[in-house]
Amino acid sequence: MSTEEVRLFIGPQHPGVTGNMSIEVLLKGDTITWAKTHIGYLHRAFEKLMERRIFIKSFPLVCRICVPESDTNEENLARGLEELADIEIPERAKWIRTLVLELSRLQMFIMWYGGIAGSMGLSTPVQWGIGDRDYILDLFEELTGGRVYHIYILPGGVRKDLPEGFEERVLKTMDLIERRLPEYDELIMDNAVEQKRLKGLAPIPKEWVEEMGITGPVARACGFPYDVRKNSPYEAYDKLDFDVITEDGCDVWSMLLVRRREIDLSIKLIREIVSKMPKGEFLTRLPNVLYWEIPKGETYVKSEATRGEFGYYIFTDGSGKPRRVHVKGPSFIHGITLLERLLVGQNIADVAPILVALQICPPEMER
Amino acid sequence: MGLKEVLKPLGAWRQIARKPHTILVPKVHREAAERYRGFHVNDLGKCIGCGTCAAVCPNEAIDMVKIEGIEGKKGDSGFRPRIDYGRCCWCGLCVDSCPTTSLRMTNEYIWIREAPDDFVYIPGYDIKGFEQKEKGYRKDKEHSFTDYHRVPMREKEPEERLQTFAEVVLGYTEEEARKEADRCIGCGLCISGCPDRMHIPDYIRAVASGEYERSVNIMYENNPFAELCGKVCTRRCESYCSLGNEGDPVAIRWLKRFATERFSDLKEVIRARKQELKDKSVGIIGAGPGGLTAAYYLALRGYKVTVYEAMPEAGGMTMAGIPKYRFPLPSLKKQVEFILSQGVELKTNYFVDPEKFRNLMEIHDAIYLGVGLLKPWKLGVPGEDHPNVIYAIDYLRKVNFNESVKIGNEVVVIGGGDVAIDAARVSRRFGAKVTIGYRRRKVDMPADREEIEGAEEEGVEIWEKIIPLRVEDAPEGRVKLVYGKARMVDQGPGRRPKPVLIEGEEYEILVDRIIVAIGQQADLTFLPQEFAEKMEVERGRIKVNERQMTSISGIFAGGDVANRVADAISAIADGLRAVKGIELYFQGKS
C-alpha cells in the first residue's frame, strides 16, 4: 500500500441515514481508490430464528428485516406460506394488502426524499420527510394498531378490517402529501447545489444491471423497465393501471427522478385502490396456528420494495416449522456488490449521497 | 441552471409561519388509535390460566404465575400471565389467541419508571392505572386464531331413529374429525374435568395429525373402554374446555369415538407391554367398566385375574342399562374381548352369595367390588306396588337382553337423569306416547343436554315440576298417576333449587305404564355377616380410601357402588386407582 493513501472507515454509526454498516475506503487525496463494505453490526439471525419457530411466531420477527418498510416482509412470508399450504385468501384481503404495501412504499419514499437532501447536509427536508411520513404512520396506527411494526398481514388475509371511514382519511392524507410535494421539489429538485452535485454522479455502466442483478429504482434509473409489480404481479397489482417508470441517466440524479415519480405513482395507485376496494371477508380461517403444519414444498415469492426486488425463498418439510427461509433483500447486491465498485473513483464527500441513492437497508443484508 | 435554482429553495422559509407537526409531550397527551396495541389488561375473573398467550408469544415475554387469591380449580389452572415488557414486542398474538378474550391491550403507550422490575407485571393484578381504558387492541372472535365453532355431528333423522335401535349418531368423517380436533389449543384444562385424567390434548392432537393408531394407544394408557367413552361418556371434560367459555367446546367425546371406531381389531393396534407373571391373584366381582378396567391393568401387570359376573354377558350397566341406539353390542364385545385377551378370566352367570364370597376371599389375594347399583329407588307413594309400575333399570335390562316387555301405548317416566331419558327414548322406539315427569325444571335435569334434545326431537314430552302423589288402578289394565305441581325454592348460588309441593292441587294422567327412574341403590346382601359388619357404608355407598380400599384390608371397591358420580368414566377411574392400590397392598405398603 502506498503511503500516499489513507485508509478510512465510514461508519458503522449511520453513514447518511441507511443503518448500521461500515465502508472501509482507501483515499488518494479526496478520491476513493478502493472500497469494502463491512456488515455484521445488525445481525440478528432472522433466517435461523425462523427455523426454530412455529410459522405464526415468525411474523413479529420478519417485519424487523427492514425497519422502515416492514410490510413487504410480512406480505412475502404470508404469501409464500399460503402458496405452500394451499390457502386461498379473500379478494378484499388482497386489496387491503396492496393498499398497505403501497402506503408503506409511499412513506418510505417520502422519508428517502428528505434523506437524499440530508446526505448532502441539507437537513430541512429530512425533518419534513420524517414529519410528513408520520401522517401515513397515523393511518397505519389506525388500521393495524402499530405505527412502524404492523404485524398486520398474516397468512389467510389481514388481521382486521378497514376501520369506519378509513378510506376518506387515506384520501385526505394523500391530498395533504400532494400539497406538500412541490415544496420539497423547490428545495431539492430546483436547488442549484443539489443539481450540481447529483447530476452525473456515480454513473452505473448499463451492463452491470444484468451482471449483478440490480433491481428496483436503481435499475430503472438505468433504463431497465423492471418492476415486480408489473412483471410478475402479486396481490391486486394486476388489476391496477400503471406504467413502469424509467429514466436513462444511470446516475444518482436519475435515481432521484425515478423515486420522485414513484411518489406520484404511489399516490395515484393508493387513490385507485381505495376506489376499487371490494367488499367482503378479509380473512380466511387458518388451521390452528399453534400446531399448523405445512406440507413439504418450496417456493420463491417476490415483491417490489422501494429498494428493489424483495424475495423470500421458503422450504417447508411437513413439520410445524420452516426447514429453511432465505430472504433476498435488494440491498445485499446494491450495498456490497455494486457499492464497492461504484465508489472507486468517487469523491469522499459523495459517499453518503451514493449510499442513500442506492437506498441501502443494512438489516436486509444481514438476515 | 440559473438564478431561479438559487432563489427557489428559499421558499422553504414560508414554513416558519406554519403550525408545527409536533406536540409537546407530556404537556399534551396524544391519544392513540382505537385499536392501538399498547399495555395489556387482563380480566382476572374471566381468565382461566390456560397459558395459550404464553405458548404463542414469540418472545417468551409471558410467564404463567401463581398469584394470591386465585386458586386452581376444575377448568382454571389458577395461574395468570405475567408480562415482561423488556421482551414484549406488542404484536398482540396473545390477544388474538386468548380463548376467553380476557386478555386485551389498551391504547396506553407511556409508562415511565426507574426500576426495571416495574416493567414486569401481571396485568389485572398489578394495578397500573389504565385498567379501565376502553380503547385498545382486542380480539375479534370471528377473525382470530381461535375457532369457536364445533363441527356439527351428523345424526339420523328423528323419524328414522324411532324405527330401529341402530345408533343415532353417525360419527365424524375423517375430514370432519381432523378439522374438529385441530380446534384444540392443547391447554389441558379438560384433564381436570376427567375423573380418569385421560391424556386428552395428546390424543386429540394425534387425531388432528392423522395418527389414529397413536391416538388410540394414548387412550389405552389409562382407559380400556375408550370406545365406550367415545359414545356414551358424560364428558365433563367438555364443560371445562377453554373454548367452551366463549364458544363450543371441542367435541372430545366424538373424537374419541372417531379414533377408536377406525380399528376393528384392537389386538393389532394396542401396543401394551405385559409384565412377567406374578403369583398373586385378584378376584373381581362385577364385569362392569370399573371391574374390567381393574382386570385389564392388573393383567398387564402380571397378576392373575378372575372376573365374576352375575349376568350372562360382561359389561355391567353398559351392557344392561345403556340402550343399544347409544352403545351397540358389537362395540362392547370388541372392547371386552380385547380385555379378556390379556389373560383375564371371565365367569358369567356367577351370582356371588355369602358362601361364594367367603370362598373367593380364600382363593384370591385381593378382591375388587364393582357390583354397581342394582336396586331401584322407589317413589314412596301409595299404590306403587301396582303391577303397571315398573322400574327403568329392570326395564332397560330386559330390553337389552331381548326379553319380552309390554309397555302399552302410553307411558309416563318419572325422573330427570340419563336413565329416565333412556327409558323414555326406548319406549318411543316401541311406539308408545311418552311423557317425562320431572320434579324440577328442564334446565335442572342432570341428564346430558344432547340426550334431552334428542328425546324431544323424537317426540318425548317433558313436564316440569311434577311431584307424584299416588298411583291408582284404572280400568282396562291401565294405571292412573295422581300428581301435584311443585314450586322452586332457591337454594343459593351453585345449588339446584328445591322443589316444594304446592298443596291443594291435584292432577292426574292415565297411562299404561309408569316407569320409575329416580335412581338406584346398592345391594350388598351378598356380603357375609362378618364382612358386612366391618364394611363401612356411607349414605348408601361403600366407603373407600384414596386407593379405593374399603375398611376391610384387601377388599377394594369402585364404580357406582363406591362413588356418587355414578357414570362409566368414574368407574373406570376407580378401577385404575384400585390397580395402584392393589399393587401397593401386595407390596405391603398399604
Q: For residue A2, what pLDDT is reported?
A: 58
User: Are residues B34 and A287, on separate chains, in Cβ contact within 8 Å?
Assistant: no
User: Are residues A141 and B33, on separate chains, in Cβ contact within 8 Å?
Assistant: yes
Q: For residue B19, what pLDDT is reported?
A: 86
Does A59 reach chain B within 8 Å, measured CB to CB? yes
Q: For residue A79, what pLDDT is reported?
A: 96
Domain B376-517, second-level architecture: 3-Layer(bba) Sandwich (3.50)
pLDDT digits (tens, 9 = 90+) for B501-533: 998 889 999 999 999 999 888 899 999 999 999
Enumerate the β-bridge partners of residue A315.
A298, A324
Does B1 reach chain A within 8 Å, measured CB to CB? yes
CA distance A183 to chain B (A): 7
Sign of torsion over alpha carbons B270, B273, B278, B280? negative
Same fold, B21-146 and B376-517: no
User: Are residues B32 and A141, on separate chains, in Cβ contact within 8 Å?
Assistant: yes
Q: For residue B590, what pLDDT is reported?
A: 57
User: Are residues A191 and B182, on separate chains, in Cβ contact within 8 Å?
Assistant: no
Sign of torsion over alpha carbons B265, B269, B270, B273? positive
Write out chain B residues lying below 8 Å of A285, CB-based.
Answer: 147
Does B109 reach chain A within 8 Å, measured CB to CB? no
CA distance A75 to chain B (A): 16
Q: For residue A365, what pLDDT is reported?
A: 86
Among the partner residues A161, A163, A287, nearest to B182 by beta-carbon distance = A287
User: Are residues B56 and A283, on separate chains, in Cβ contact within 8 Å?
Assistant: no
User: Are residues A145 and B92, on separate chains, in Cβ contact within 8 Å?
Assistant: yes
Q: For residue A36, what pLDDT is reported?
A: 93
User: Are residues B91 and A160, on separate chains, in Cβ contact within 8 Å?
Assistant: no
Write out chain B residues lying below 8 Å of A173, CB-based.
Answer: none
Q: For residue B365, what pLDDT is reported?
A: 94
Q: What is the pLDDT averaged over residues B74-95?
A: 94
Among the partner residues B12, B93, B145, nearest to A124 by beta-carbon distance = B12
Among the partner residues A53, A161, A291, nearest to B58 by beta-carbon distance = A53
pLDDT digits (tens, 9 = 90+) for B436-468: 999 999 999 999 998 999 999 999 999 999 999
Distances from the Cα of B220 to the Cαs of A111, B109, B259, B338, B560, in angstroms? 63, 51, 12, 11, 22
Write out chain A residues lying below 8 Å of B8, CB-based.
Answer: 186-187, 190-191
Write out chain B residues lying below 8 Å of A56, CB-based.
Answer: 56, 93, 145
Q: For residue B111, what pLDDT is reported?
A: 87
State the best of A285, A288, A319 to mutate against chain B, taking most chain B CBs within 10 Å.
A288
φ and ψ of B113, to 5 deg: -145, 155
User: Are residues B12 and A141, on separate chains, in Cβ contact within 8 Å?
Assistant: no
User: Are residues B145 and A286, on separate chains, in Cβ contact within 8 Å?
Assistant: yes
Sign of torsion over alpha carbons B440, B441, B444, B448? positive
B208: nearest CA in chain A? Answer: A291
Q: What is the pLDDT averaged over residues B469-480?
A: 92
Q: For residue B272, what pLDDT is reported?
A: 83
Distances from the Cα of B414 to the Cαs of A85, B208, B287, in angstroms? 55, 42, 28
Domain map of chain B by residue range?
21-146, 158-268, 281-374+522-586, 376-517
Q: For residue B326, what pLDDT is reported?
A: 92
Write out chain A residues lying below 8 Å of B96, CB-based.
Answer: 159
Supply the CATH classification number for the domain B158-268.
1.10.1060.10
Does A290 reach chain B within 8 Å, measured CB to CB? yes
Angstrom distance (rounded) from CA B473 to CA B238:
45
E strands within A156-280? 157-158
User: Are residues B145 and A160, on separate chains, in Cβ contact within 8 Å?
Assistant: no
pLDDT digits (tens, 9 = 90+) for B299-353: 999 999 999 999 999 999 999 999 999 999 999 999 999 999 999 999 999 999 9
Enumerate the β-bridge partners of residue B249.
none
Among the partner residues B1, B21, B147, nearest to A285 by beta-carbon distance = B147
* Residue A268: how many other CB atoms lie within 10 Å: 16
Q: For residue A15, what pLDDT is reported?
A: 54
Angstrom distance (rounded) from CA A69 to CA A305:
8
Angstrom distance (rounded) from CA A95 to CA A269:
11
Does A49 reach chain B within 8 Å, measured CB to CB? no
Q: For residue B540, what pLDDT is reported?
A: 84
User: Are residues B143 and A288, on separate chains, in Cβ contact within 8 Å?
Assistant: no
Please give the domain boundaries of chain A with CATH numbers for all domains.
Answer: 45-202+265-364 (1.10.645.10)
Average pLDDT score, chain B? 92
* Residue A312, Ramachandran bin (φ over 0: left; ψ between -120 and 50: alpha; else beta): beta
Q: For residue A11, what pLDDT is reported?
A: 79
Q: How confident is the model at residue B146 (pLDDT cuts 50, 70, 90)?
A: very high
Write out chain B residues lying below 8 Å of A283, CB-based.
Answer: 143
State the best of B93, B140, B144 to mutate against chain A, taking most chain A CBs within 10 Å.
B93
Residue A296 grid coordinates: 413439504
pLDDT averaged over 10-residue windows placed end to end, chain A, 367 residues: 80 69 91 91 87 94 90 95 95 96 95 90 90 95 94 94 95 95 92 91 92 94 94 94 93 94 96 96 93 95 94 94 94 92 93 90 84
CA distance B70 to chain A (A): 27
Q: For residue B123, what pLDDT is reported?
A: 92
Q: For residue A45, what pLDDT is reported?
A: 87
Q: For residue B128, what pLDDT is reported?
A: 85
User: Are residues B93 and A187, on separate chains, in Cβ contact within 8 Å?
Assistant: no
Q: For residue B164, what pLDDT is reported?
A: 87
User: CB under 8 Å to A282, separation ≥6 — which residues?
Assistant: A90, A92, A93, A96, A157, A158, A160, A161, B143
Is the predicted ipTM greater than 0.85, yes or no?
Answer: yes
Sign of torsion over alpha carbons B548, B551, B557, B560? negative
Q: For residue A19, what pLDDT is reported?
A: 76
Supply the CATH classification number for the domain B21-146.
3.30.70.3270
Angstrom distance (rounded) from CA A255 to CA A227:
14
Judged by CB atoms within 8 Å, which residues 125-164 of A form the interface with B? 131-132, 134, 138, 141-142, 144-146, 149, 151, 159-161, 163
Q: Is B155 helix (H, G, I), strand (E, B) or coil?
A: strand
Is residue B496 over pLDDT 90? no
A53: nearest CA in chain B? Answer: B58
User: Are residues A291 and B205, on separate chains, in Cβ contact within 8 Å?
Assistant: yes
Check if the beta carbon of residue B328 is closer than 8 Å to that of residue B243: no
The CATH number of domain B281-374+522-586 is 3.50.50.60: yes
Among the partner residues B58, B184, B186, nearest to A61 by beta-carbon distance = B58
Angstrom distance (rounded) from CA B370 to CA B309:
10
User: Are residues B5 and A186, on separate chains, in Cβ contact within 8 Å?
Assistant: no
pLDDT digits (tens, 9 = 90+) for B205-264: 999 999 999 999 999 999 999 999 999 999 999 999 999 999 999 999 999 999 999 999
Q: For residue A16, what pLDDT is reported?
A: 57
Among the partner residues A141, A160, A195, nearest to B5 by beta-carbon distance = A195
Q: For residue A21, what pLDDT is reported?
A: 87
Check if the beta carbon of residue A89 is closer than 8 Å to that of residue A285: no
Q: How many CB pairs under 8 A join A and B?
A: 109
Share in percent of chain B as helix, strand, coil (round to 5)? 35, 15, 50
State the best of B143, B205, B250 to mutate against chain A, taking most chain A CBs within 10 Å.
B143
User: Are residues B205 and A289, on separate chains, in Cβ contact within 8 Å?
Assistant: no
CA distance B185 to chain A (A): 7
Check if the beta carbon of residue A72 is closer than 8 Å to that of residue A303: yes
pLDDT digits (tens, 9 = 90+) for B369-423: 999 998 899 999 999 999 999 999 999 999 999 998 888 999 999 999 999 999 9
